[in-house]
Amino acid sequence: MPIIDFHAHILPGADHGSDSSKTSLAQLALLRAAGVDAVVATPHFYPHMHSMQSFLEHRARCAERLVRHLTPAYPTAFVGAEVLACEGLEHMEGLEHLAVKGTRTLLLELPFSGWGHGLVETVLQIREHGFTPVLAHVDRYPRASIEEFLHEGILAQLNAELFAHPLRLRAYRRWIENGAVVALGSDLHKAPKNGHRPFQKMCAKLGPEADRIFARTAELLEGAVPLTPTEAPQKEEALVLT
Ligand SMILES: [Fe+2]
């Protein structure tokens, strides 16, 4: 079963996750060291700050910067977005462009300052419109608030950092066991020393459950279009990783 990082900020210059191709390649090397076979690049999309067109153009330029250096030695990279959910998002023109390219799978980040039932309705409407919304890092929010979405069958992603805290992890076991968790993410920002360890640890702790989750992720990525590696990476970037 391919090991898939569903949530990572690895596009150079796309957001605060990576400031350069050099950083992005170091991030991909970390993910490779963690055993990751495929990663979804999910730059932040803030509906109150970004226009769809400027975001898509900027993201395309950032992806182009990265793709020049990709080789088959790196994990396969897909492009999506981490979209901040807000009421009315279901009406946003061009929302399909924020799904993982080639799919209708949409990573949604909930606000940290709380929300009303209207936001649940929004996410359900998005699903009605043929998307498969996945809630990003549900481990970061009050569990009762997330339950409102999960009761409706909305899907969830967990961050690797959760697995460093055994007591906290216990609280999320049920969501893993009942199939609500369909994706795992490094949520990698920058390229910290030993940055491969959290993802590695998560896979080790989950054991066979990780494979079940990755199988669900693979289904969500069916038809996804990867960034295509080039035959000859630029030498100076390749040297960084040796
Ligand atoms: Fe993120």
- pLDDT tens per residue, range 78-99: 999 999 999 999 999 999 999 9
CA of 231 to the centre of ligand 1 (A): 30
CATH number at residue 142: 3.20.20.140
Q: What b/e sequence results for 100-113 when a residue is b if at least 16 CB atoms lie within 10 Å of its CB, and e otherwise?
A: bbebbbbbbbbeee
Position 171 scores a pLDDT of: 87
CA of 241 to the centre of ligand 1 (A): 24
CA of 185 to the centre of ligand 1 (A): 9
Domain that holds residue 43: 4-240
The structural domain count of the chain equals 1
- pLDDT tens per residue, range 158-202: 999 999 998 888 889 999 999 999 999 999 999 999 999 999 999
Position 33 scores a pLDDT of: 98
CA of 235 to the centre of ligand 1 (A): 30
How distant is the alpha carbon of residue 117 from its chain centre? 25
Number of H helices, E strands in the chain: 8, 9
CB atoms within 10 A of CB 160: 26
Position 97 scores a pLDDT of: 98
CA of 7 to the centre of ligand 1 (A): 6
CA of 38 to the centre of ligand 1 (A): 17
Residue 48: burial class (beta carbons within 10 Å; 0-12, 13-18, 19+) = exposed
Rounded to an integer, what distance in angstroms lies between the CA atom of residue 175 and that of residue 178?
5
The low-confidence residues of the chain, meaning pLDDT below 50, are 231-242
